[in-house]
Structures are given as structure tokens and as C-alpha cells.
Amino acid sequence: MYDPGPTMHRLLKRTARLGLALIAAFVCLSALLVLALRWIDPPSSAVIVAWELGNGREARQEWQPLERISPHLQMAVIAAEDQKFAHHFGFDFAALKQALREDRKRPRGASTITQQTAKNLFLWHGRSYLRKGLEAWFTVLMELLWPKERILEVYLNIAEFGEGVYGAQAAAQRFFGTSARYLSSWQAGRMAAVLPNPRRMSAQHPSHYVRNRAATINRQVRQLGGSAYLGAL
């Protein structure tokens, strides 16, 4: 009688070797990609491409180096999204623990700027374990291979500030008729205030909630030390 045991064993070994080879290839290629993007400005992002495909039109985006983005906006997004940005290694475990306590079914407010950059640049929207695992992997790579200034620069150039409006420069021009370089503190506060839901909140025509949130963000900027905080990056 034919014994399938040896054949099955060889098949499992080949499958395991192939799986390990694919994992090794992904690790190497993703690390090389992230390393290259330390110096090469990404022409777009996964989130922008998905929006363009879904809407059939080109998104507004114009890359600006960090030194040409107002420090007011740099600090406003840090105050609004990730006040420990200068000090953590990509993950704010205290914030995650707090978010889980507040809503165990749908944790919010625990993603750092690095995590958001990883998700927006490389991944897709969703809550699957696969996406969260990939987000964590790219977060670690960026923290290892990029300085904090580069993470903030990429974030500010691909973050969504309004429907089809991505990056600080496009948003500053669209909402305030100015360059990202010349944003005032109150304009920056309003842009940072809409980041949780830029398709429902408007920096150009702010609701009472957005105005109050912007004022709170500007107070938090002062508490963090203002532009002096940026020197710690």
C-alpha cells in the first residue's frame, strides 16, 4: 500500500522553505524601501492613490520640505496628535492603554504620528490584524531608519486636511490662500483640529467645535514649549 507520508513531509518542507523565503524577501525589500525614502520624497501615498482611484480625480498635494512648513503647524499637529512624539520609539503605550480602557471595542486616539505616517504612506484603511501588524513593522523601520524630523516632514506632506486635500502646502493654499511656510498659529490650530476627521470638519469654515479645539491645541503648544520642543527632535 502506498504511504503518502514521505511525500507529504517533503511538500510541507518545501512550503515552509518558500514561506520563509517570502518573509525574508519582504523584510529585506521593505527595509530597503524605507531606507531609500529617508532621502527620496515619495511622489504619493497609498491613501492618496486609494482616494484618487475611488473618486476618479487627482488629489491636491504639493511637497514641501520641513524647513518651508510653518513651525506653528509642526507644533500644532504634535500637540493635537502625539505630544510624546519627540520621546517615544513609535508607540505610545500609555495612550493605547487609556484608549482601550475608554472603549475596548474601538480604541481611538492611540496612534502616534509615526504610526499614522506608516499607515498613510504604505497601507490601507481597515482594522484587520494583518494591517495592524504591517503598520507596526513599518513604524519600527521608520523609527530605526529615519530621524524624527523626516517622520514629521513626510507626515505633514501626506496627511489629509480636507476632502482630496493632502499635505500642508495644498491645504494652506486651498483654505487660507497662503503658503505652508507662512501659516499663523490660529490657522495651524484649525488645520490640526480637523485631522481626526477632515472629511466632516473644515479648517476653512470651522464649526464651533473646531474653533474650540483649535484654541485648546494652541494652549497645548504653549505648554509643550512652542518651537523649543522642535529642537528636541
pLDDT digits (tens, 9 = 90+) for 136-167: 999 999 999 999 999 999 999 999 999 999 99
Tell me, yes or no, whether 105 and 23 share the same domain. Answer: no
Q: Angle at which helices 148-158 and 113-122 pack, to 10 degrees?
A: 50
Helical spans, DSSP H, in the chain:
5-36, 46-55, 71-81, 93-102, 113-122, 129-145, 148-158, 168-176, 185-193, 208-224
Tell me, yes or no, whether 116 and 222 share the same domain. Answer: yes
Band (pLDDT 50/70/90 cuts) for residue 5 is low
pLDDT of residue 189: 97
Per-residue model confidence as pLDDT tens digits over 106-131: 444 578 999 999 999 999 877 788 89
- Structural domain of residue 157, as residue ranges? 44-232
Residue 157: CATH number of its domain: 1.10.3810.10
pLDDT of residue 4: 58
Tell me, yes or no, whether 2 and 110 share the same domain. Answer: no
Tell me, yes or no, whether 62 and 101 share the same domain. Answer: yes
Tell me, yes or no, whether 105 and 71 share the same domain. Answer: yes
Our count of domains for the chain comes to 2
Tell me, yes or no, whether 142 and 101 share the same domain. Answer: yes
The predicted model scores a pTM of 0.89
Whole-angstrom distance, CA of residue 187 vs CA of residue 115: 25
Tell me, yes or no, whether 29 and 68 share the same domain. Answer: no
Whole-angstrom distance, CA of residue 50 vs CA of residue 48: 5
Tell me, yes or no, whether 7 and 88 share the same domain. Answer: no
Tell me, yes or no, whether 20 and 135 share the same domain. Answer: no
C-alpha closest to that of 119 among 99, 100, 139, 105: 139
Q: Residue holding cell 504634535?
A: 78
Tell me, yes or no, whether 224 and 195 share the same domain. Answer: yes
